[in-house]
Structure 1
Amino acid sequence: MSLLDIFLATLNITLPVFAMVFIGIGLKRLKWIDQTFVNTASRLVFRGTLPTLIFLSLLNADLDTTFNPWLLGFFALATLASFLACWGWAILRVKRPLRGIYIQGAFRGNAGIVGLALAAGMYGNAGLSTGGLLLGVVILSYNVLSVIALATYQERQDGTGVDWASIFRHILHNPLILSVLAAIPLAILDINLPKWLDTSGHYFASLTLPLALICIGATLSTRALRQGYRTTFSASIAKMVVIPAVATWLAWACGFEGRELGVLFLFFASPTAAAAFVMAKAMGGGETLTANIIALTTLLASITVTAGVFVLRVSGLI
């Protein structure tokens, strides 16, 4: 296969995902959708369609080939290492009030939507299964570590401090975690859903990726990028270039290859999660800088993810 063929094959994976994001931008500009639609659709995805997608992908997965505890452990350790590295850099180069926002924006990726969509585009159901297993680690690690960073450098406006019990209660009740916990025992026991229920579930789950990606595009605001651009640029380069490159190299050095290496790269290379904005706002401010980072990393992702997949394919690693 020539370099041109590899490049075109790479575009066939990444462009459909980012095209939906830009369609979301266009629909919002044309006023065909508004913020009310985005809020409602986002809740539907988070509470219904995405958990269904993860549940069905795991239920139909061959866990003997997709479940790898070493993969989950590596992702957790690499996430912790990237979190600590971002914290160290923030201490050196970022003003104290902005450090928590910077750390969260630089390490927390949108693996649940963008990463999963890319994994599905590259590896089909096997990618969804591997990504679904990783999402349990993603949800726990990203939420807990983000809370730690934000709580260290920010105080709630009401002066009451961080409600840790409420935060951990929300993590334990997270629909994505519950879908993983519900699916794994059924998959291990090789229990199948009735045909009609499985088909209906797939119809419902198929709404997830296009709807979620359109909502991401509709929430982007390039106007916000004019404020605090230096900190925004620094966090975005860390998120989209440094962390994916270093983490993927370490994964390869540890022996991961093929689908597992590809999914790890796609998860680490995902742009900053939109959930970071919600958490920053709920914990006392910094939402403007967070919105800046989300917008810039999402725009950069169409270039950096495509380039990364192309390099890995040319190298024969995935």
Structure 2
Amino acid sequence: MNLADVFLETLNVTLPIFAMVFLGLVLKRLRWIDQGFVSTASLLVFRGTLPTLIFLSIVQADLDATFDPWWLGFFALATLGSFLFSWGWARLRVPRAERGIYVQGAFRGNCGVVGLALAAGLYGEAGLSAGGLLLGVVILIYNALSVVALSRYQPDTATDWRSLLGQMVTNPLILAVVAAVPVAALGLELPSWLLTSGEYFASLTLPLALLCIGATLSLSAAVGDEGRLALGASLMKMVTLPALGTGAAWLAGFEGRDLGVLFAFFASPTAAASFVMVKAMGGNATLAANIIALSTLLASVTVTLGVFGLRAAGLI
């Protein structure tokens, strides 16, 4: 396969995802969808369709082929490393008041939507199953580390660790993983009608979620001083950290699907949940929103080039 064929194959994976994102932007501009739709659809995805998708992908997976403690542990360590690297850089280059927001925006990826969509585009059901396991690990880490960074630079905000722990253990995505693993491990067979109905419901996840991401984008996010700071965090999220994380994974011996799914998660744009957490803790919510918007816009280029480079090199 020559490079032109590899590039076209790469576009077949990434273009459908980002086409849906930009379709959401267009539909919002045309007023075919509004903020009410985005809020309702986002809640449906988070509480219903995405947990169902994760549950079914794990239940129907071969855990012998997807459950690898070293692989999961490496991703956890790489996420911690990304957090520490972002924090160290922020202490050198970012005004103190904005450091926590910068750090969260730079290391916290939208793995639950874009990461899973990329994993599915690259490897189908096997990618979804592996991504679901990674998601269960990363949700806990993201929430804990985000609160650490934000509370460090929001001294007037008290951190309620009990509330944080409660939110994590009741997170629908984590509960989906916890429920699915024993079912898959024991080889329990669910009724075919239930699986079919669940698949219909779960199939709403990626189109709805990607449309909502697009509908919340702002093309003016790079304007002014806050825009430049947001651009810096977005470049860290979409270029520096994916390159470092994927390079470390390759040096650790991962390749093929394992490396491809890791890249999909490393290269996901900043999670929308980062805005919610910043706003709840009294931080600069505008900066957080700008980082989400810019990293999502950059993703259409950086993810495509990343997948193309890895495939051209024969690594995934």
**TM-score tier after normalising by the smaller chain length:** over 0.9
Runs of 4+ in 1 over 4 A off after TM superposition: none
Asked if 2 retains the 8 angstrom alpha-carbon contact of 1:224 and 1:288, the reply is no
CA apart distance, 1:225: 2.9
Task: Answer whether contact 1:248 1:265 (CA < 8 A) is retained.
Answer: yes
Indicate whether 1:48 and 2:48 are aligned: yes
> What is the CA-CA distance between 1:229 and the residue it aligns to?
2.1
The share of aligned pairs that are identical, in percent, is: 70
Alpha-carbon distance between aligned partners in 2 of 1:107 and 1:282, rounded to the nearest angstrom: 19
SS in 2 for 1:225: coil
Aligned to 1:223: 220
Q: Which residue of 1 aligns with 2:128?
A: 128
Structure 1 pair 314–42 and aligned structure 2 pair: CA distance change class (3 A): same
User: Does the aligned pair in 1 maintain the 2:49–2:205 contact within 8 Å?
Assistant: yes
- What's 2:255 paired with? 257
Instruction: Determine the structure 1 residue equivalent to 2:172.
Output: 175
1:10 aligned partner: 10
| 1:238 aligned residue | 236
Shift of 1:223: 2.5
Which residue of the partner structure matches residue 161 of structure 1? Answer: 158
Partner of 1:152: 152
Q: Given the two structures, how large is their TM-score scaled by the length of structure 2?
A: 0.98
Matches within 5 A, 1:9-28: 9-28=9-28
Q: 1:230 Cα deviation (Å)?
A: 2.0
Deviations 1:25-83 (A, max 9, x none): 00100000100110000000000000000000000000000111011100000000110
RMSD: 0.8
Aligned to 2:302: 304
The superposition leaves residues 127-183 of structure 1 with CA deviations (integer Å, 9 ceiling, x where unpaired) of 00000000011101111100100010014xxx5612221111001100000000000
Number of the residue aligned with 1:285: 283
Match of 1:266 among 261, 264, 267: 264
| Aligned position for 2:201 | 204
Match of 2:70 in 1: 70
Q: How does 1:75-94 map to 2 (within 5 A)?
A: 75-94=75-94
Q: Which residue does the alignment assign to 1:31?
A: 31
TM-score by length of 1: 0.98
Q: Count residues with an aligned counterpart.
A: 315
Residues 52 and 176, structure 2, Cα contact 8 Å, conserved in 1 = yes
The answer to whether the 8 Å contact 2:136/2:173 transfers is yes
Structure 2 CA distance for aligned equivalents of residues 72 and 266 of structure 1: 14
- Distance change (3 Å), C-alpha of 1:195 and 1:296: same
2: CA distance, partners of 1:308 / 1:196: 39
